[in-house]
Amino acid sequence: MPGGDYGELGGSLPAIASLNASYSTSLSIPSPYLLVPPAERKAISDVRRTFCLFVTFDVLFISLLWIIELNISSSIWESLEKEVVHYNYRSSFFDIFLLAVFRFLCLQVGYAAFRLKHWWVIAITTLVTSVFLVVKVIVSNLLSQNAFGYVLPITSFVVAWLETWFLDFKVLTQEADDERAYLAAVNAACERAPMIYPRAVSDGQFYSPPESLAGSEEDLDEEGLGRRAVTAQEKEFVRQGREAMSVVEQILAQEDNWKFEKNNDMGDSVYTLEIPFHGKTFILKALMQCSAELVYQEVILQPEKMVQWNRTVSGCQILQRVDDNTLVSYDVSAGAAGGVVSARDFVNVRRVERKRDCYLSAGMATDHDAKPPCGRYVRGENGPGGFVVLKSISNPSICTFIWVLNTDLKGRLPRYLIHQSLAATMFEFMTHLRQRISDLRPSLRSHHHI
C-alpha cells in the first residue's frame, strides 16, 4: 500500500494519530520496571562500571610500564632504591606511578563508592596530572635517559584526558538520559492513572473468547479459567511475561518520544526509543488493510506456524504452555545483512492479552531446561518487546500493527550493522505478513460463501 494512503484512511483510524489516545482506557498499572528510580535499579550503571574498569586499567598499565623501566638498566631492587629511597624529581619515574595511584583513589572513591554525578573530582585529578607532567617534562632530564622518558609521561597524560572525556560525554550524559526517561514514565503514568480500568480476563488457551472486563490480578494462579501456573518456575515465567507486558505498554504510551529512523514505500515506519538498561528499542508501525482479528490470528495466536510464511524466522517451537496467557517458545532467526549476521536462537517467555481495542503479545528472554545454549547457534537475548494490533473503531477492515523489538544478538558485531539489519528485517517481515494476508483472503472469501 502506498504511503499516501495513510492520509485517506487517517480519519478512520484514530490510533494512527496517537497511540496514547487508543491506550488511555486500556493500560494497566504502571510498569514496576520503569517506575523504579535509576539509582535503585542497580548498584551502579553499566557505563559507570566500564569507567571504573578503565580507571583500574590506568593504574595497572602505568605500574606495568614503570616496572619494565626499572628492569632496563639494572636489577629491579637497585632501581627501586635509586628511584624511591633516593628519590630525585628530575630523574625518577616513581612520581608518575604515584600520580596514577592518586587518580585511581580519587576517581574510585568519588564515582564508585559515592557515585557522584558531577565532574569536579575528575577535573581536579586531570588538572593535577596535566600541570605536574608538563612541569616535570620541562625541568627534568627524563627525555635523555631512555625511551620511557617519553612513553610514561605521554601515556599518563593521554589516559587522564581519556578518563575525563569518557566520564563527561558518556557516563554523566547517559545517566542523565536515564533519569529523564524515568521522570517521563512517571509523568505519563500519573496522567493516565484516572483512566485505568481492570485488565481483561484470559484468552483461554490462546483462543479468542468474548471480552470481559471482570478480572483480578491479586494472585498469579487465579488469572486463567483453564491452565494455571503451579510450580515456582511457572510462576516466574508468568512474572516475566507480566513485566514484559508492562514495559511494552509504557513504550506505547511514550509515542511522542519515539525517534523516527526510516520508512519504506509501503508507508511503514521504524522508530527507536532508548530504554534505560536495555538500550535502543526498535518500533515498527504499519497500517494493515485487513481486520485486526486476522493479524492477531496469524502473528500472535500461532507463532509456531509463522515459519511457514515468514522468511526472517527459520524455526519456532512451543516449549511449554504455562497458563492461559503465557507460553515459552524457542525461536531461530534467519541470517541477515546478506549473511554477515548469522542465524541466532532465542528462548522467550510470551504473554498474550486481549483488550477492548487491541491485541497484545509481549515477551522477553528467559531460560528453559529443554533448550540450553548449544554450539550450533549464537544464543541471542531479547529485552521487553512484542506485537500489538490496534483495532479501528470506525473501519473494522483495517488495523494498525506495531512491533516492538529490543534484542541483543551477542557475538562481535558492529553496533551500526546490527541496527541496520534490524530495521531491514522489520520491513522484510511486513512484506511477508502482507503476502500472507493476501494469500489468505481468497480462502476466507470462499469459506464465507460456503
- Residue-wise pLDDT for 117-146, tens only, equals 899 999 999 999 999 999 998 988 877 778
What pLDDT does 124 receive? 95
Give the pLDDT mean for 234-244: 92
pLDDT at 11: 36
- In this predicted structure, which of 89-103, 130-144, 349-363, 409-423 has the lowest mean pLDDT? 409-423
- Top-confidence residue, 421 or 164: 164
Q: So what's the pLDDT on residue 185?
A: 55
Confidence category of residue 16, pLDDT binned at 50, 70, 90: very low
Write down the pLDDT at residue 43: 63
Q: Angle of helix 120-139 relative to helix 148-166, nearest 10 degrees?
A: 160
Residue 233 CA to residue 118 CA, distance in Å, equals 43
Residue burial 283-319, b: 16+ Cβ < 10 Å; e: rest? bbbbbbebbbebbbbbbbbebeebbeebebbeebeeb
Instruction: Kindly state the cell numbers that stand for 163.
Output: 578518563
pLDDT value of residue 442: 67
The arithmetic mean of pLDDT across residues 259-279, rounded, is 88
Predicted pLDDT at 327: 92
pLDDT at 75: 86
Residue 186 is predicted with a pLDDT of 53
Banded model confidence at residue 72, pLDDT cuts 50, 70, 90: confident
Residue 336: the pLDDT is 62
Higher pLDDT, 320 or 1: 320
pLDDT band of residue 181 (cuts 50, 70, 90) is low
Pairing mode, if any, of strands 381-382 and 326-333? unpaired
Better-scored residue on pLDDT, 149 or 196: 149
Mean pLDDT for the chain overall:
78
Which tops the pLDDT comparison, 153 or 147? 153
- Rounded Cα gap, residues 400 and 392, in angstroms: 8
Least confidently predicted of 87-96, 211-220, 293-302, 432-441: 211-220
R_g (Cα) of the chain, nearest Å: 29
Residue 237, judged by CB atoms within 10 A of its CB (0-12, 13-18, 19+), counts as: buried
Q: In angstroms, rounded to a whole number, what is the distance separating the alpha carbons of residues 87 and 92?
A: 6
Cβ atoms of 361 and 225 closer than 8 Å? no
When pLDDT is averaged across residues 217-232 and rounded to a whole number, the result is 56
120 versus 421: which is more confidently predicted? 120
| Across 398-417, average pLDDT | 82
Q: How confident is the model at residue 340 (pLDDT cuts 50, 70, 90)?
A: low
Average pLDDT over residues 86-106: 93
pLDDT for the residue numbered 378: 85
Average pLDDT over residues 348-364: 92
Q: Which of 1-10, 106-115, 241-250 has the lowest mean pLDDT?
A: 1-10
At residue 173 the predicted structure's pLDDT band, cuts being 50, 70 and 90, is confident
d(CA 85, CA 95): 12
Is residue 224 helix, strand or coil? Answer: coil
Task: Say if residue 449's pLDDT is above 70.
Answer: no
Confidence at residue 282, expressed as pLDDT on a 0 to 100 scale: 94
For the segment 238-248, the average pLDDT, to the nearest whole number, is 92
pLDDT band (50, 70, 90) for residue 214: very low
pLDDT at 74: 83
State how far the Cα of 314 lies from the Cα of 344, in Å rounded to an integer: 10
Lowest-confidence range among 8-22, 254-268, 273-287, 345-359?
8-22
- Which residues, including other chains, have CB under 8 Å from residue 64's CB and lie 6 or more apart? none
Residue 184 pLDDT grade (very low, low, confident, very high; cuts 50, 70, 90): low
Q: What per-residue confidence (pLDDT) applies to 223?
A: 43
Please name which of 96, 61, 93, 89 lies closest in space to residue 76, comparing C-alpha atoms: 93
pLDDT at 361: 94
